[in-house]
Structure 1
Amino acid sequence: MAVTDLFKNAFTKALPIVGVPTTAGTGSEATPYSVLLRKDMQTKVSFGTKDTYPVYAFVDAKYTYSLGKGSTISTAVDAFTHAFEGYLANRSTVISDSFATTAIKAFGKSMRKLAKFELDEADRENLMLVSLLGGIIISQTGVTIAHGMGYCYTYFKGIPHGAANGLIMREYMKLNYDVAKDKIDNALSLLGCESIDEFADILAEMLGQPPKLTEEEIELYTKLTQIQKGSMANTPHKIDAEVIKGLWSSIR
């Protein structure tokens, strides 16, 4: 089998995996996905089927107690974006929404302490719950264009995946507000925030500001983001090249 066959899910079985998360996190102990860097495509591409779920998952937050500030924050933001994007996703369901609202509320409980990196063991447990629920959610709903855009930051700027997604959240939330107002307002309430900007400012405290992009970078990122067709189609707001370019232009 060629490596490229993986992305076609051209296999009928997989090795049994036992998932033990050491971050909180990707939630991969509860998903079938593997995400690999494709240098030939200048982006990240995922694959997975029902056969690639871990056969067991052992989830214990103590494995994250010694995780450093940068990795803790980036992976926690990744977990939040799984829950939030899954909540907004066109493929969301009543059941996935119940997981998502629980995860978003849990993130809100520890969010301000996370920004200051003043976490105790209870916060670590809380963030691990967000991560696990986030994995369960995206296994059902998939992700949206925020993830597709974040891949560009990771590939070209070396920004860790979760942080890359977080840097996009302010404009992503504003874009989708007109078509997902009720869900976004509810998410902000669960987070303990009164506005998108209040929440995004807390993320900025954690992650800093997005990198400045040139016009050439915006054109390239717009082109590469469009590779993520599934994420585009799963976003509540209609996504096309013009919308993607507008997002990239507004983020810088």
Structure 2
Amino acid sequence: MSKVFKGKVVLITGGSRGLGAATADAFAAQGADVAISYAASADKAEAVVARLRAKGARAIAIRSDQADLSSARPLIDAVIAEFGRLDILVNNAGIAVQGQLVDDPELDWDKYNRQWQVNVLGTIANTRAAARRLSDGGRIVFIGSLLGSAIPFPGVADYAGTKWALAGYAKGIARDLGPRNITVNVVQPGIMPTDMASDVAGELPDREAILDMHPIRRIATLEEVAETVCFLAGPSAGYISGETINVAGGLAI
């Protein structure tokens, strides 16, 4: 595989499992030095780092709870202290709270408010902390969700809102950082085989009916979503910015 990221440093937030871990693997396979952040899964994070190092990559894991906005600057400081630079930021970390309708009298306000704190404010804090220190010609990729632009079932209003907020924010960041040749894009996956998807699966309507909505009737693999992120972070995507790319089997058609 071509080492297109050799000499580049990538930070993947929420990189201890699921799509974050798969994205770390994909970047390392293409030569990048990799930093991942995690909130609580220390054992999983260290396992990812060990796997990357076994393949010859330089890699570290940094504990950073995105719900705490003050953690953003220390996170970026730690990456640069280790590697001396930061070229690519993948804003992957987030949580999914779904299943209740907005008019539900039992709506859990605390859980839903925390989702906005982690998914939106935490991501923005990390982006702000990274912006001035990101290398000119660098890349920022936000991991959104197809639910940010297409709502095939009820009970996801707040989650969808957090992801669409990031899509709008990314466009503004693309405008701000464009003069430095920094591109900013959003990848919106559909359903993926992740722990987070499994956690909310019981709150969704019939899975088979949802798959029937897809022109390509299957869920995304982690690898194909991760490779889309790598493409946007790579040299072939240097003139793509402010865009949102769905990796969802055509569900939003």
TM-score, L = length of structure 1: 0.32
TM-score, L = length of structure 2: 0.32
Q: Structure 1 or 2: larger strand share?
A: 2
